């Protein structure tokens, strides 16, 4: 087991160590070039990404992959306008060219001088990793997949096929801004996925499981590959007995954990400040107003140890904090990047994120959570005469402007007379964000953070996010099944 401990504190990225390391003086020159025609501020985003991946198909490691991607993005901001360019190397001439291209946004203004750069001392990481998975030797990584594969197959003879994959990433970023910030962050990420196909007679059904986050090898001590294998097999087997879901409006009980994607879709996106700055969100001008049932408190918390959405520092160099979005049903605030914070005259909340150095920043969620309530989860299910118990999801989507959201279940059950009944297939839930949150009538005391699986897409950019919530009862949602 080879783990490079030095990576923890120093970093291996060429822009922080070695002959190509970016010193404050070079950074200053690049920022001066970027602001040569004026502008409110400029920043540099250096990124280094080393990955190692494996895919196993039907018990065979079909391919090993991996590589290094590196570059720097240069941004110049004038009001709410942004000039952006990037270079895929640390060659000073290429970086300078990118700075010049980005500077074109500020046409013929007076040059602005960046503030002297003060490298920021690092605080304690919320995702320290002692033994990175990316450095674990190949055979040991294969063994992790093999364990998952074996567990899924061994779970039941009806499991006919298992596929699994493992991705490990070591990412480092360095943000330098024209207002003097210079900050470095090491961002590990791992993800295991297992999917299983079960067959009985002519009927085939699939199930999947996965997890990870900003963890090292130790993740698998807590949640074993076997656990993911068995979980994938369990869902596939349950679906063999599933029957058509009902269609119509009824109460829905959301199971703890993964149901947090409801929050992410139903309210999260609408509270990203760019949509509100543009007045295109259905939460525009709603701060201080009641937007949900008094039982609902929603936070976006970037500081959860090891969670997939966590950040020590955002992609604009801002140290993020927990933000309370909805407290007791009242809307308290939006999530800001620097541009929207400036527009609303707020402090940036540390929500500026981007997919890579090839992309511009936007306000994004980190880990979006609903706080636990008082109810016993068993009482919540017992309170439903006829409805749906929603457990696992394949994904969701929201229309920001009208607040309509939809999400698709991969595991769900009918609730009849307060008891869980038959598993259902093809369940889709559709609703309106504010309407759904207003009809939350019970909130459990059983908060669960979802194991890291979710990737959020916005304007063509994907970033990892976390979600979590307790058991929640929504009095009315539309269930899109086929049985009328």
Q: Does 481 bind another protein (CB under 8 A)?
A: yes
Rounded Cα distance between 213 and 467, Å, is 12
What gap in Å lies between CA 285 and CA 424, rounded to an integer?
Answer: 40
Query: Rounded distance, CA 482 to CA 484, Å?
Result: 6
Min dist. Cβ of residue 64 to another protein (A): 4
Q: Smallest distance, Å, CB 130 to another protein?
A: 23
Residue 290: DSSP 8-state: B
Rule CB under 8 A: choose which of 395, 419, 421, 455 binds another protein: 395
- Is there binding between residue 40 and another protein (CB under 8 A)? no
Site residues for another protein, 248-277, by CB under 8 A, read: 248-249
Among 38, 119, 180, 426, binds another protein (CB under 8 A): 426
Determine how many CB atoms are found less than 10 A away from the CB of residue 403: 22
Q: CB nearer to another protein: give 284 or 441.
A: 284
CA 243 centroid distance within chain = 32
How far is it, in rounded angstroms, from Cα 51 to Cα 189?
9
Residues numbered 68 to 127 that lie near another protein (CB under 8 A) are: 68-71, 79-86, 88-89, 98, 101, 104-105
Q: Judge whether 408 and 265 are in contact, CB under 8 Å.
A: no
Q: Which of residues 189-228 bind another protein (CB under 8 A)?
A: 197, 199, 204-206
Query: Does residue number 439 form part of the binding site for another protein (CB under 8 A)?
Result: no
Among 10, 63, 346, 378, contact with another protein (rule: CB under 8 A): 63
> By CB under 8 A, how many residues form the interface with another protein?
83
Contact 205, 236 (CB under 8 A): yes
* Cβ atoms within 10 Å, residue 102: 28
Q: Considering the complex, what minimum distance in angstroms separates the CB of residue 443 from another protein?
A: 24
Strand partners, 243: 424
Q: Which stretch binds another protein (CB under 8 A): 35-43, 303-311, 378-386, 405-413?
A: 405-413
Interaction of residue 394 with another protein, rule CB under 8 A: yes
Q: Are 178 and 31 spatial neighbours (Cβ–Cβ below 8 Å)?
A: yes
**Residues 426, 177: Cα–Cα separation, whole Å:** 49
User: Using the rule CB under 8 A, which residue among 432, 446, 448, 456 binds another protein?
Assistant: 432
Closest to another protein by CB, 214 or 364: 364
For residue 447, the minimal CB distance to another protein (Å) is: 26
H-helix segments, 15-106: 24-34, 92-103
**Binding of another protein by 139 (CB under 8 A):** yes
């Amino acid at each position: 087991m080879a783990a490079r401990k030095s990576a923890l504190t120093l970093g291996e990225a060429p822009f922080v160590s070695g002959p190509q390391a970016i010193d404050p003086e070079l950074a200053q020159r690049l920022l001066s070039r970027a602001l040569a025609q004026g502008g409110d501020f400029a920043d540099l985003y250096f990124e280094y990404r080393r990955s190692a991946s494996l895919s196993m198909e039907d018990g065979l490691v079909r391919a090993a992959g991996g590589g290094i991607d590196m570059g720097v993005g240069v941004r110049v901001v004038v009001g709410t306008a942004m000039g952006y360019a990037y270079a895929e190397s640390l060659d000073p001439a290429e970086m300078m060219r990118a700075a010049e291209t980005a500077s074109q946004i500020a046409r013929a203004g007076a040059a602005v001088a960046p503030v002297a750069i003060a490298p920021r001392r690092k605080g304690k990481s919320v995702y320290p990793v002692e033994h990175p998975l990316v450095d674990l030797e190949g055979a040991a990584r294969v063994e992790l997949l093999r364990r998952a594969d074996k567990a899924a197959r061994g779970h039941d003879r009806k499991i006919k096929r298992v596929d699994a994959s493992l991705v490990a990433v070591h990412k480092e970023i360095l943000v330098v801004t024209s207002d003097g910030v210079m900050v470095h962050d090491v961002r590990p990420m791992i993800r295991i996925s297992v999917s299983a196909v079960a067959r009985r007679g002519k009927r085939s059904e699939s199930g999947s499981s996965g997890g990870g986050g900003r963890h090292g090898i130790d993740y698998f001590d807590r949640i074993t590959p076997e656990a993911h294998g068995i979980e994938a097999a369990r869902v596939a087997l349950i679906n063999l007995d599933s029957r058509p879901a009902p269609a119509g409006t009824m109460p829905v009980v959301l199971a703890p954990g993964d149901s947090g994607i409801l929050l992410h879709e139903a309210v999260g996106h609408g509270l990203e400040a760019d949509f509100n700055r543009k007045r295109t969100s259905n939460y525009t001008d709603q701060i201080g107003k009641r937007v949900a049932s008094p039982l609902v408190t929603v936070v976006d918390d970037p500081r959860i140890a090891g969670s997939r959405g966590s950040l020590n520092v955002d992609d604009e160099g801002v140290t993020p904090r927990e933000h309370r979005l909805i407290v007791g049903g009242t809307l308290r605030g939006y999530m800001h990047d620097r541009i929207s914070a400036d527009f609303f005259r707020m402090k940036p909340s540390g929500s500026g994120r981007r997919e890579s150095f090839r992309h511009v920043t936007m306000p994004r969620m980190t880990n979006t959570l609903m706080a636990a309530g008082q109810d016993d989860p068993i009482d919540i299910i017992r309170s439903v005469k006829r409805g749906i118990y929603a457990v696992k999801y394949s994904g969701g989507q929201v229309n920001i402007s009208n607040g309509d959201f939809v999400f698709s279940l991969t595991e769900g059950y009918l609730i009849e007379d307060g008891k869980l009944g038959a598993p259902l297939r093809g369940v889709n839930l559709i609703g309106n964000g504010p309407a759904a949150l207003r009809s939350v009538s019970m909130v459990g005391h059983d908060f669960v953070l979802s194991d890291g699986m979710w990737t959020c897409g916005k304007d063509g950019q994907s970033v990892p996010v976390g979600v979590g919530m307790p058991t929640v009862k929504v009095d009315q949602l539309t269930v899109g099944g086929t049985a009328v």
